[in-house]
Amino acid sequence: MDVDLDAATLTVRHTLQVGIRLLGEPKTESGRRSVGIEDVTMDVIRAHKARQARERLRAGSRWTGPIGDEGFLFASLVGAPLQARNVMADYHRDLTGAGLPSRTFHSLRHTAATLLLDGGEELATVSKLLGHSTLSTTSDYYAHLTHTISRRAADRLRGILAG
């Protein structure tokens, strides 16, 4: 597992090849990265790992995944990698249950990037979190002029002009 529970970081070292379910390498060097995980998410991950340990004990010899820190954070009840079609079905069911419109799974990444930028995070930081090799990739696909960003720029300009 590439989550360090003590340091509260996630390190991207591998990708799961859809269909063949084998671990591969990220596409680019910038795809290999470590990102911090905030406390609330770390609490959820710790609780999930405890549930997963109980599932491993229940599965006994049926457990097919690695054991301990080498295991998948998100795995089937027998430790195998999750199948993409099942993850997507659960995702869409959860969206519907929450009364939200259907979105691609990738839109979660897009939303996180937009919220970070809207909250004032630097473009370079968001770009590194996303694993982009250039700032232009991040700005071309993720940096939108939201109302908050527009308002912040207007306030800055007012300060400069009044200054």
| HEC assignment per residue over the chain | CCEECCCCEEEECCEEECCCCEEECCCCHHHCEEEECCHHHHHHHHHHHHHHHHHHHHHHHHCCCCCHHHCCCCECCCCCECCHHHHHHHHHHHHHHCCCCCCCCHHHHHHHHHHHHHCCCCHHHHHHHHCCCCHHHHHHHCCCCCHHHHHHHHHHHHHHHHC
Read off the pLDDT of each residue in 12-39 and give the average, rounded to a whole number.
Answer: 82
pTM: 0.74
| Confidence tier at 147 by pLDDT (50, 70, 90) | confident
How much is the pLDDT for 68?
A: 64
Please, what are the domains in the chain? Answer: 1-101 (1.10.443.10), 103-163 (no CATH)
What pLDDT digit, counting tens, does each position of 34-76 carry? 999 999 999 999 999 999 989 999 999 998 877 766 778 888 8
| Confidence tier at 142 by pLDDT (50, 70, 90) | confident
How much is the pLDDT for 30?
A: 85
